[in-house]
Amino acid sequence: MNMSRTITSLPDFHLRGMGYHARLLLLLVLWVYAGSSNASSAYGRWFVLETANSDRAPVQLGAAPPGAGVASHPGSEVEGDELIAASGEAEVSDAASLSQLEQQLDDARVQGGAYSQALAEPLGDLARYYRSQGDFAAALSLYGQALHNLRVNEGLYSEGQVPLVREMLSLYRDAGEYESLDDRYDYFFRLYGSGQPPYDDLRLRAVTEYLRWQREAYLRGLRSSDRDLLTLFERNSRLLRRNDDAPPLPPEWEQALVLSQIQNLYVLAQAVEPLVVYGNASNVFSNSRRLPGAGPDEQQQDFTRTRLENIDRTVLARGRRLMEDLLAKTPPDRVKQRALLLRELGDWYQWHESSERAMDYYQQSIALLQGAQRSDLVEQWWGQPVELPDSNVFVVPGQSSGDSLQVGMTVSASGRVTVDSLAFNGAPTDNIGSRLRRELDSTRFRPAFVNGEPVAARIARRDYRVQQR
């Protein structure tokens, strides 16, 4: 979101015909509005660090690092499907041949009939075999048969389906079948209880993974409408909002859902750019897109957009309240959780170009960790500059173009970048390099800190890969 672009691009006729005081009031309102809604470029939209799951090499302040840096952020969105990956998949023994697996399936049919519950296991084994051979179509067909068998024998949302659904999600991603993956995620969410009690670690991970996928689907263009974005925000809000008679959320649930909503707000702030339009003498400007005589669909679309714009106008305060409220509930002995929230508050303000507030939160977090003898976390979080948002919320897995850029830069103590050198696949570049330079110029970094104070850091080389958009 860049309000300066919106304001400077207003056509001249928006101001013509207005009295002096009306024009003055309009410009004053726009100036105040722009200043209150500032946000930086979103790291991950146009470029990502190479080898995104490796640690960055340590940066020597004022000197060159020993090698190119790469990103690995705790809780990173780019990891994706963490529940699927963490749970692991059943493996077929190397010794099991296709003929053996088919014979096991035939034996189960003969002994139990076409709907025998005993068919689910050999069907799953055979699906895994075909997947290991790269035959995704055959594997998906067999997974589908196994799921149907379990639904018939155990019920529509039985827990026995969970491992198969996990494997199907992973297979759809491997095959690049993102529309089918999107359809399966809704079923996956229902299988894990749709965010309802009883609460346990598995259900929490399922809920946060589902919300993470919804953000990815939005960024991929699979669910790219205003309604999709508003639904994502409101679903996360409902999960956080509890009725008085409902059991309280466990602390780990609440923190995960709060941080998930912060990621939603990052996406919303980047996606929503309010439309500023002159109305009439009694209504100096309006953000409404409603047209005279608009039908129900158009009015609903207009309501959705207006709701998103209203959220966007207060997005900075919304994020702060969410994290500060959670911080107030977090016991003093949970030092790492409290320090993380303070760091996230600093990142939130830094990304919205409120550096003074950000530095205050950063220093509170550092002081808390130092008091608890956690210098390891101080070094991990502030030992070098980090692109924001740190969560990689805008990084879409699999959309890297393969084009690599090597950037030398200096990140100031306020988190602003000066690009010192730029090369594209080892050679100078113009078009792509200029785009990356512009994006880097407007990307905010969490600066490096030494002895509790922000410092400038020289990075001799950091490798980025272009994101396809």
| Residues 6 or more apart whose Cβ sits within 8 Å of residue 114 | none
pLDDT tens figures, 57-112: 333 333 332 233 333 333 456 444 555 544 444 555 544 688 889 999 999 898 98
Instruction: Write down the pLDDT at residue 22.
Output: 47
CA-CA distance, 225 to 220, in Å (whole number)?
Answer: 11
Q: Cβ–Cβ contacts within 10 Å for residue 154, how many?
A: 14
CA-CA distance, 44 to 465, in Å (whole number)?
Answer: 10
pLDDT at 202 over 90: no
pLDDT at 233 over 70: yes
**Do the Cβ atoms of 351 and 445 come closer than 8 Å?**
no
pLDDT at 252 over 50: yes
Buried b (16+ CB within 10 A) or exposed e, 363-399: bbbbebbeeeebeebbeebbbbbbbbbbbbbbbbbee
**Do the Cβ atoms of 439 and 417 come closer than 8 Å?**
no
CA-CA distance, 230 to 208, in Å (whole number)?
Answer: 17
pLDDT at 146 over 90: yes
Mean pLDDT estimate for the chain: 78
CA-CA distance, 202 to 256, in Å (whole number)?
Answer: 13
Interhelix angle 251-271/201-220, rounded to 10 degrees, is 10
**Do the Cβ atoms of 341 and 323 come closer than 8 Å?**
yes
Residue in 173, 175, 187 with CA at minimum distance from that of residue 84: 173
All domains in the chain, ordered by first residue: 3-40+270-367 (no CATH), 55-75+389-467 (no CATH), 82-252 (1.25.40.10)
Residue in 415, 229, 224 with CA at minimum distance from that of residue 315: 229
pLDDT at 440 over 80: yes
Least confident of 134-143, 168-177, 316-325, 426-435: 426-435
What share of the chain has pLDDT > 90, as a percent?
Answer: 48
Tokens encoding 138? 């055959």
DSSP states of 348-412: HHHHTT-HHHHHHHHHHHHHHHHHTT-HHHHHHHHSS-EESSTT-TT--TT-EEEEEEEEEEEE-
Residue in 391, 394, 434, 388 with CA at minimum distance from that of residue 411: 388
Evaluated on CA atoms 378, 85, 231, 177, the torsion sign reads positive
pLDDT tens figures, 335-388: 999 999 999 999 999 999 999 999 999 999 999 999 999 999 999 999 999 999
| Residues 6 or more apart whose Cβ sits within 8 Å of residue 460 | 63, 64, 65, 408
Tokens encoding 79? 């990891």
Top mean pLDDT of 41-45, 254-258, 430-434 is at 254-258
Instruction: Write down the pLDDT at residue 17.
Output: 41
Evaluated on CA atoms 264, 268, 270, 271, the torsion sign reads positive
Query: What is the reported pTM?
Result: 0.78
4 pLDDT tier (thresholds 50, 70, 90): very low
Tokens 């309501």 map to which residue?
A: 303
Query: Would you put residue 230 in left (φ > 0), alpha (ψ -120 to 50) or beta?
Result: alpha
Tokens encoding 331? 């016991």
Tokens 């056509």 map to which residue?
A: 11
| Mean pLDDT along residues 267-281 | 66
What single-letter DSSP state applies at residue 159? G
Give the C-alpha distances (Å, rounded to integers) separating 265 from 23, 69, 236, 397.
32, 28, 11, 20
Residue in 227, 223, 218, 192 with CA at minimum distance from that of residue 207: 192
| Mean pLDDT along residues 449-461 | 95
**Do the Cβ atoms of 43 and 310 come closer than 8 Å?**
no
**Do the Cβ atoms of 349 and 434 come closer than 8 Å?**
no
